[in-house]
Structure 1
Amino acid sequence: MKIFVGNLSPEVNEQELTALFSKHGSVGNVKIVRDISNQMSRGFGFVDMPRKVDAKKALKTLNEFELKGKKMSVNEAKQERDRNSAGGGKNFSGRRR
């Protein structure tokens, strides 16, 4: 299960998130989203936990957990919408015939 982790302190790194979430089960990929120009944390990231039962335990325990002075927001990640879709599968150009 992919978990969204928001309201992260800029000082938090991937290794710290891995250590924190691994207390609740197996952890796969951990990614903190960074600004492309300066590589500073944008204050959120994602943690993959292969076992749903472990992920649910982490969600319950770590939501509003304080890490480096900030209370994290921990939720199940929402699936990203396809940015190339035109909405509903129909191609609207805005022109009338």
Structure 2
Amino acid sequence: MGSKLYVGNLNYRVGDADLERTFAAYGTVKSAQVVMDRATGRSRGFGFVEMGSDQEAQAAIAGLNGKDMDGRNLMVNEARPPERRGGGGDVKRGGGGRRY
């Protein structure tokens, strides 16, 4: 278990401070960040919260998963590391372009 949490189904009006305030009821919040769209600057509807310990993270999951925040039911679970994406498919480097 890790202390970093994924928080999904956020209302687009929710900001970093709102996340921090909500999760602080379950322990020390090391960081709270709503992910923003680079092109529009608007929230993408999810974020990440890092709690002070694994126990605090578990308490936050138990207390907040499925609970209403600003009109939306939160989805809170342990954050997974990002998946590695495949290369771009450059044929010169053997990237897997189709050959007919």
Relative to its length, the structure with more helix (as a share) is 2
Q: Does 1:21 align with 2:17?
A: no
Indicate how the Cα distance of structure 1 residues 83 and 93 shifts in structure 2: closer, same or farther if over 3 A, else same.
closer
What is residue 88 of structure 1 aligned with on the other side? none
* SS, match of residue 55 in structure 1: helix
- TM-score, normalised to structure 1, is 0.83
In the alignment, the residues of structure 2 paired with residue 32 and residue 41 of structure 1 have an alpha-carbon distance, to the nearest angstrom, of 7
Task: Using the TM superposition, give the Cα deviation of residue 93 of structure 1 relative to its aligned residue in structure 2, in angstroms.
Answer: 4.8
Which 4+ residue blocks in structure 1 deviate beyond 6 angstroms? none
Residue segments in structure 1 that go unaligned for 5+ positions in a row: 86-91
- TM-score, normalised to structure 2, is 0.81
What is residue 56 of structure 2 aligned with on the other side? 54
What is residue 39 of structure 1 aligned with on the other side? 41
In the alignment, the residues of structure 1 paired with residue 79 and residue 96 of structure 2 have an alpha-carbon distance, to the nearest angstrom, of 33
Q: 2:32 aligns with which of 7, 30, 33?
A: 30
Residue segments in structure 2 that go unaligned for 5+ positions in a row: 88-93
Letter in 2 for 1:60: A
RMSD of Structure 2 on Structure 1 (CA): 1.9
What is residue 66 of structure 1 aligned with on the other side? 68
Q: Give percent identity, aligned residues only.
A: 35
Indicate how the Cα distance of structure 1 residues 81 and 74 shifts in structure 2: closer, same or farther if over 3 A, else same.
same
